[in-house]
Amino acid sequence: MGNRVESIRDKRKIATIKNMLKGSNKTRDYILFSLGINLGLRIGDLLKIQVKDLFDVDDNIRETFEIVEEKTKKRNVVLINENTKEALKYLIENEPTVLNNRNNHIIYNTRNKYESITRIQAYKLTRSWCDKVGLEEIAIGCHTLRKTWGYQAHKEGISIEVIQEKYKHSSTSTTRHYLGIEQKDVNEAYKKVNL
């Protein structure tokens, strides 16, 4: 694809997608979207998460989990934030059989919970959700969910250095480029800082 993949910048669109997926009883899709935008992981790392990663032996949601990133081979400790916990509670309420096997994938194939969906399926789902809420004009890809976390973290005032550390980027300039920080973002900063 010639276009650079973008984040979902409008929080109202994020809420609309979450409500749409919950309203249509698309539990797996809701989990994919919620965990994708809240954990900020690459799609390959997101899709390999299993029940045992997020739930302890008593089926309680963990506070953190650890992965070794597929691309970088770096260790990453991920905090499970409140919205992720709410999504996991929703999963338990609507698809309790996912917990029957600790090796089941959290982003499961609906025909076999032991398997995850593919990257292509994740892309097609993300593209369809964005289209349904009027985001046809942005370049959607598998990194859209990961980039949404970073962009929204930046908008909340989280420093580029912290986001860089989370993404394991080698420089802040890589992180700025990855987030797609544009002139309109700089202009917004000028509007907010009136000294």
- Indicate if 123 belongs to the active site: no
Q: Which one-letter amino acid corresponds to residue 75?
A: R
Q: Tell me which of 108, 151, 167, 178 is the catalytic residue.
A: 178
DSSP string covering 158-179? --HHHHHHHHT-S-HHHHHHHH
Count other C-beta atoms under 10 Å from residue 14's C-beta. 18
Distance between CA atoms of residues 153 and 157, nearest Å: 7
Question: Does the active-site annotation cover 169?
Answer: yes
CB distance 130 to 18 below 8 Å: no
**CA–CA gap between residue 153 and residue 30 (Å, rounded):** 20
Q: Which of 42, 105, 154, 166 is catalytic?
A: 42
- For the question of residue 143 being annotated catalytic, the response is yes
d(CA 125, CA 20): 13
Element (H, E) at 33: helix 27-39
Annotated active-site residue 127? The verdict is no
- Alpha-carbon distances of 153 from 3, 26, 145, rounded to whole Å: 23, 26, 13
Catalytic-role residue among 28, 105, 113, 146: 146
Catalytic residue among 28, 105, 143, 147: 143
Which residue in 71, 111, 184, 192 is the catalytic one? 71
Q: Active-site residue numbers?
A: 42, 71, 143, 146, 169, 178
